[in-house]
Amino acid sequence: MAKNNLYLPYEVIFKEIDDSLATEVGNNFFELLYIVSGTGVQTINENRLSYQPGHLFLITPDDKHNLEIETHTSVFILRFTDIYIKNGPFTSNNLYKLEYILQHANHQPGCILKRVTDKNLVHPIIDAIRHEHYNPTLYNTELIQLLINTLIVIIARNISEYLPENITKQSDSKSHTILQYIQSNIYEPEKLSVAVMSEKFGISETYLGRYFKKQANETLQDYISKYRIKLVENRLMYSDLRVGEIASELGFNDESHLNKIFKKHKGTTPSLFRKKPKNV
Work out the mean pLDDT of the chain and round it to a whole number: 81
Q: What mean pLDDT comes out for the span 133-159?
A: 87
Q: What is the DSSP string of 40-95?
A: EEEEETTEEEEE-TT-EEEE-TT--EEEEESS-EEEEEEEE-HHHHHTSS--HHHH
Asked if 228 and 217 touch (Cβ cutoff 8 Å), the reply is: no
Domains, the chain, with CATH or none = 10-162 (2.60.120.280), 173-275 (1.10.10.60)
Q: Which of 223, 255, 240, 183 is nearest to 39 (CA)?
A: 240
pLDDT recorded at residue 280: 44
> What is the share, in percent, of the chain residues with pLDDT greater than 90?
27
Instruction: Decide which of 50 and 99 is more confident.
Output: 50
pLDDT recorded at residue 48: 82
For residue 170, pLDDT over 50 is answered with no
Count of other CB atoms within 10 angstroms of residue 54: 18
**Highest mean predicted confidence (pLDDT) among 152-156, 164-168, 195-199:** 195-199
> What is the share, in percent, of the chain residues with pLDDT greater than 70?
80
| pLDDT tens-digit map of 83-136 | 677 666 666 555 555 665 666 565 556 788 878 888 899 999 999 999 999 998
pLDDT recorded at residue 255: 92
Q: What mean pLDDT comes out for the span 255-280?
A: 85
| pLDDT tens-digit map of 208-259 | 888 888 877 788 888 888 888 888 887 887 677 899 999 988 888 899 999 9
- This prediction has a pTM of 0.61
pLDDT recorded at residue 15: 93
Q: What mean pLDDT comes out for the span 47-51?
A: 84
Q: Which of 4, 24, 147, 160 is nearest to 76 (CA)?
A: 147
DSSP state of 276: S
Q: Which of 245, 88, 240 is nearest to 151 (CA)?
A: 88
For residue 171, pLDDT over 90 is answered with no
Instruction: Decide which of 107 and 161 is more confident.
Output: 161
Q: Which of 52, 58, 14, 13 is nearest to 32 (CA)?
A: 58
- Which residue(s) pair with 14 in the sheet? 76
Q: What mean pLDDT comes out for the span 155-183?
A: 67
